[in-house]
A and B are shown apart, each in its own frame.
Chain A
Amino acid sequence: MALEKSMAAIPEFLSKAELLKQGAEARVYRARFLGRPTIVKERFRKQYRHPLLDEKLTHRRTVQEVRSVLRCRRAGISVPVVYFVDYSSHSIFLEEIVGSSTVRDHIASSPPSARCEGLEPLAERVGQVLARMHDEDVIHGDLTTSNMLLRCGPEDGVSELFLIDFGLSYISALPEDKGVDLYVLEKAFLSTHPHTEALFQRLLKSYAAASKKSSAVIKKLEEVRLRGRKRSMVG
């Protein structure tokens, strides 16, 4: 009886929360939890997947996400605070970064907001943050400009850059995995924001300068880029 009650608690809580969006992975709600503005990420069951596969994947991704966020936090990278995790509903309760917008919206909007830094310093900042994350051996796994939040400062435009959505993340020291991580971002970046090659180069330069292990990673990135091109395509 008590178990059923507690299992029903999260869905009941969420039914009263504000649904912000339904991403590919999860529903994202806004709520108040322990008196704080909270984002709840609920990984719901994907009906198209076989139930056993779905359960394994969903559980694995919930665990990986929380682990990676905590690891980043310990390393001083700006990520939301994890308040609570419920493994039966696969829900993660996270700090809401109030007053922020995605880097994607930021790049897409023109003219850019006067209160925030311009696109070039932004690209440099992103490179630095990613360098710190990779030096911590955290592979984000789904780097896109929608997974980076910018919260602009009050007056002089000093802003804070947050990384979010660590659902596909894992721990790895391999330059190959870091290279692929950057490759995923490069592809997402250039497809979403056409004609921004120079901006992305700036990001990579900043990454290379900020990371102690960057040369091997950049080399792997170049290799991975060629792989797509060199592959024989038939049929």
Chain B
Amino acid sequence: MTIVIGFEGSANKIGIGIIRDGEVLSNPRRTYITPPGQGFLPSDTARHHRAVILTVLKEALEQAGLKPADIDCVAFTKGPGMGSPLVTVALVARTVAQLWGKPLLGVNHCIAHIEMGRLITQADNPTVLYVSGGNTQVIAYSERRYRIFGETIDIAVGNCLDRFARVIKISNDPSPGYNIEQMAKKGSQYVELPYTVKGMDVSFSGITSYIEEAAHKMISSGQCSAEDLCFSLQETVFSMLVEITERAMAHCGSGEVLIVGGVGCNLRLQEMMGVMCKERNAKLFATDERFCIDNGAMIAQAGWEMFRSGQVTELEDSWITQRYRTDEVEVTWRD
């Protein structure tokens, strides 16, 4: 029996989760939400995490009904992500690991999303679409690496959606993407927007600058409503994502798709991916907001895999890094 606690805080969510041999014992989380029209800055986010992290840690242990002595390993997000929030969380992880006398494990955030997705959905060897505010990658496992087949060559799809939300001042509660999704359901007019797929890669900066510039003009001139723009933006960017996923599947001969990351909560994206999968006789796997959105249990799960395959992070190696490629990690727990 192996019990791992995982600490996550690379963006505006701070989560701590405990996993015991594939069972999620607890997974509390807090989100730093800014007023409409504003994004979240590193120092404010770090301040938010600092204020709540010990409360969340207590919750995680209480909800799991465990004491520190029961924990076998302390996992934390090594990267990628925002600098100061990452440091804040790593600091606490290092401290409790030393206090409790437990080994440390620095985990790659992207790989954590994948491992959690695999655990929850039991997908065998899927093509993974990892989409969030900070990342957009199409990943497939091959020879001990999670190889990146396609990705954004500029900004993440979630970043594009978040920035559009700021332009039209949609609330960030519970998340800008969620509110865009609700508004999109009420939109009906399709407005043509730039569509950029380059082979297996996508580009969102063009559509972002286009819509940032044109949104107010289009809405005030009565050409379309904000709901229509939300609808059109989703249809366009999600089509791009489904397209590159399908390309990767065709290239690898894969019959499974797993969507992970915060944008993966979006039901329209899941619906579109489902249609594509059905046409190809492929299976779609997705999780709900508990595990799509950044959370501590996913760090614990990746940590559990790494720990069981014999990995440990020494204190002097427990630094965090803002840039940490998914394919940098040797996946020692799979063959």
Q: Give chain A residues whose Cβ lies under 8 Å from the Cβ of B82.
A: 232, 234
Distance of A47 Cα from B325 Cα, bound (Å): 33
Q: Residue B243 at the A interface, CB < 8 A?
A: yes
Q: Is the CB of B235 within 8 A of A49?
A: yes
Q: Give chain B residues whose Cβ lies under 8 Å from the Cβ of A194.
A: 142-143, 145, 147
Q: Give chain A residues whose Cβ lies under 8 Å from the Cβ of B222.
A: none
Distance of A187 Cα from B152 Cα, bound (Å): 13
Q: Is the interface on chain B under 10, 10 to 19, 20 to 34, or 35 or more residues?
A: 35 or more
Contact of B262 among A141, A227, A235 (CB under 8 A): A235
Distance of A231 Cα from B198 Cα, bound (Å): 18
Q: Is the CB of A53 within 8 A of B239?
A: yes
Q: Give chain A residues whose Cβ lies under 8 Å from the Cβ of B10.
A: 234-235
Q: Give chain A residues whose Cβ lies under 8 Å from the Cβ of B197.
A: 168
Q: Give chain A residues whose Cβ lies under 8 Å from the Cβ of B275.
A: 47-48
Q: Residue A23 at the B interface, CB < 8 A?
A: yes
Contact of A50 among B80, B110, B147, B239 (CB under 8 A): B239
Q: Is the CB of A235 within 8 A of B158?
A: yes
What per-residue 1/0 map shows which CB atoms of B276-294 lie under 8 Å from chain A? 1001100000000000001
Among A52, A57, A168, A231, the most chain B Cβ lie within 10 Å of the Cβ of: A231
Q: Residue B225 at the A interface, CB < 8 A?
A: no
Contact of B322 among A48, A144, A233 (CB under 8 A): A233
Q: Is the CB of B323 within 8 A of A231?
A: yes
Q: Is the CB of B148 within 8 A of A191?
A: yes
Q: Is the CB of A230 within 8 A of B323?
A: yes
Q: Give chain B residues whose Cβ lies under 8 Å from the Cβ of A191.
A: 140, 142, 147-149
Contact of B247 among A24, A224, A230 (CB under 8 A): A24
Q: Is the CB of A168 within 8 A of B198?
A: yes
What per-residue 1/0 map shows which CB atoms of A1-41 lie under 8 Å from chain B? 00000000000000000000011100000000000000000
9 nearest CB pairs, A to B: A234-B134, A235-B134, A184-B199, A233-B80, A235-B133, A235-B11, A48-B275, A48-B272, A24-B246
User: Besides A56-B192, A191-B140, A233-B79, 8 other CB < 8 A contacts?
Assistant: A48-B242, A168-B199, A184-B199, A229-B325, A230-B323, A233-B134, A233-B135, A234-B81
B positions within 8 Å CB-CB of A: 10-12, 79-82, 109-110, 132-135, 140, 142-143, 145, 147-151, 153-154, 156, 158, 190, 192, 195, 197-201, 235-236, 239, 242-243, 246-247, 249-251, 261-262, 271-273, 275-276, 279-280, 294, 322-325
25 A-B pairs whose Cβ atoms sit less than 8 Å apart in the complex: A24-B249, A47-B275, A47-B279, A52-B190, A53-B236, A143-B199, A168-B197, A168-B198, A168-B199, A180-B201, A184-B201, A187-B200, A188-B149, A227-B153, A231-B323, A232-B80, A232-B134, A233-B80, A233-B135, A234-B11, A234-B80, A234-B82, A234-B133, A234-B135, A235-B135
A positions within 8 Å CB-CB of B: 22-24, 46-50, 52-53, 56-57, 141-144, 146, 168, 180, 184, 187-188, 191-192, 194, 224, 227-235
